[in-house]
Structure 1
Amino acid sequence: MTDDSIHPQRTRTLITEDLLLVLFQPDSGTIAGENTLFYVLAGGALTDLAQRGHATIEDAGIRGTRIHAAGDPPEDELLRPMWDYISQRPRGVQTVLAASGPTLREPVLDRLVERGDLRRQKRRVLGLFPSTALVDGGSGRRAELVAGMRAALVDGEEPSERIAALTALVSASGSLPVLHREIPWSSATATRAKNLEQGDWAAEAAAAAVTRTMIAVIANSLIAGAVVANR
């Protein structure tokens, strides 16, 4: 039901796009975790690069984990700037996230609107001042993604690669409790989410194993970034 089975025509949808969609809060029209959103979206983009064979990880000993560009440049223009950046030379994860994240919010949001997952609705504040609000577009994609996350975290189902990565990134961002009305928050939920952050999910295919490893590295960086941003 989850991942590529959600609207088969969208098999190339980025994890980055689904990440922003899940963080969108329909009741308020806001996006959870705005203060660290650029880190989180960059983590999604780096996951997309790894999943598609455009980025690899190197354990550089005392220099820490380094991110290398791999393969040909990505066709998706949203991922190309990050690939160009790491193709210059291997980079630390935090460096990649900080350099690539700040420009991602608007183009990712534009894609969600273009696909109909979200809508921009014009309103007037106090009946006078024009403003634009985000509302659910009615595509059903967000609800299906959240249902997949809930099945993994609450019902104990084995998640697909996409749902595992998505859940791990949302958890590492610190925003999972914000979804408590849709994904009941408990100690068991928190434990399962933490396991996914650490790459504890099925990864039989080689590509899935690469994604799992990258997610574990990114999750640690997101947690560290969130601590700094919230001081």
Structure 2
Amino acid sequence: MALLVPGGGADDRSMLIAEDLLLLLTDDDSGKLAASTTLVDIALGGALLVELALTERVDVAGPDERVPQGRLVVRDAGPTGDEVLDEALTRAASKEGKKPQGVVTALGKGARGRLYERLAASGILRAEEGRVLGLFPTHHWPTQDAGHEAAVRAALDTALKNRAATDPRTGALIALLSALNVVHEVVDPGAVGLSKRELNASASRIAEGDWAASAVRSAIDSMMAAIIAASASAVVVTGSGVS
């Protein structure tokens, strides 16, 4: 899907799944995230790994390969044509032979800021700065041009209404949102004619569907495992502070 730049024609750069995910997780008006920054960063790492798997740059090792079975293996380390994805591939290559769960976390580090800046440079988002209590700097990224996000949302609505992924990218986005448990926050249940419960059930069904190859499935499962671990850690830290 080509990126439309305000005031101009279509850009020659296709949007990454991670960019689409970040747009969906960012409130159009306030620019605030629908989930914690920790979980969003993990999800973005998962999205980058999914993209690398979809483009057959990385895979899950089978038997008798140079890394143990079930570990990350790089199939093609050549340039992807996208600087953010190239950086993700370089990081993935440095962790070849590791469990995908650990790779997801590494890929997510620093990705959010870079993607926000790129989306702002493209005219899709607008960078706003402020201060909390007049001291601590804050950054928000409200929408400036909603055209691309509207197209992404339309694809999500169709898939969720039909309870089936129309393509791997849409399936990946729904699986990532489902893992974060924010499908009902990103998609209006009424707009697709489903209750909140039906909407989440449809998302779960798509996330577990057979649209994904083994490498993509592993990337999504690894991201889910990382999110569960991060959530559990947050609960433990919070609980330890209760007297």
- TM bracket (short chain): 0.7 to 0.9
Q: 1:17 aligns with which of 12, 16, 19?
A: 19
Specify the SS of the correspondent of 1:142.
Answer: helix
Contact 1:39 1:98 (C-alpha < 8 Å) held by counterparts: yes
Q: Which runs of 5+ in 2 are unaligned?
A: 5-9, 233-243
Q: Which residue of 2 aligns with 1:228?
A: 229
Residues 67 and 118 from structure 1, CA distance in 2 versus in 1: closer, same or farther, beyond 3 angstroms? same
Distance 1:71 1:112, change over 3 A: same
Residue 74 of structure 2 is aligned with which of 66, 69, 94? 69
For residue 29 of structure 1, what is the aligned residue in structure 2?
31
> Contact conserved, 1:44 with 1:169, CA < 8 A, in 2?
yes
In the TM superposition, residue 59 of structure 1 has moved relative to its aligned partner by 4.4
Tell me the TM-score normalised to structure 1 length.
0.79
The residue number in structure 2 matching 1:107 is 114
Task: Return 5+ residue gaps in structure 1 as ranges.
Answer: 202-210
SS of 1:137's partner is: coil
Q: Distance in 1 between matches of 2:208 and 2:28?
A: 29
Tell me what 1:87 maps to.
93
Q: Which protein shows a greater Rg? A: 2
Q: Report the Cα distance in structure 2 between the residues aligned to 1:5 and 1:129, rounded to whole angstroms.
A: 37
The reply on whether 1:215 has 2:216 as its aligned counterpart is: yes
Q: Report the more deviating stretch, 131-140 or 118-127.
A: 118-127
Evaluate the alpha carbon distance shift between residue 86 and residue 227 of structure 1 in structure 2; reply closer, same or farther with a 3 A threshold: closer
What whole-Å deviation, never above 9, does each CA across 1:43-88 have from its counterpart, x for those lacking one? Answer: 1111111122211122469x66211111242332212233223334
Rounded to whole Å, the distance in 1 between the matches of 2:186 and 2:99 is 31
Identity of aligned residues (%): 26
Measure, in 2, the Cα distance between the counterparts of 1:164 and 1:6: 20
Aligned length: 218
Higher mean C-alpha displacement, 73-82 vs 4-13: 4-13
Find the partner of 1:143 among 150, 163, 167: 150
**Is the CA contact 2:77–2:89 (under 8 Å) kept in the aligned structure 1?**
no
Aligned residues of 1:168 and 1:215 also touching (Cα < 8 A): no
Query: For the aligned residues, what is the CA RMSD?
Result: 3.0
Contact map agreement 1:56 1:69 (CA 8 A) in 2: yes
Contact preservation (8 Å) 2:60, 2:215 = yes
Sort the Cα spacing of 1:65 and 1:26 in 2 relative to 1 into closer, same or farther, 3 A: same
Asked if residue 189 in structure 1 is aligned to residue 189 in structure 2, the reply is: no
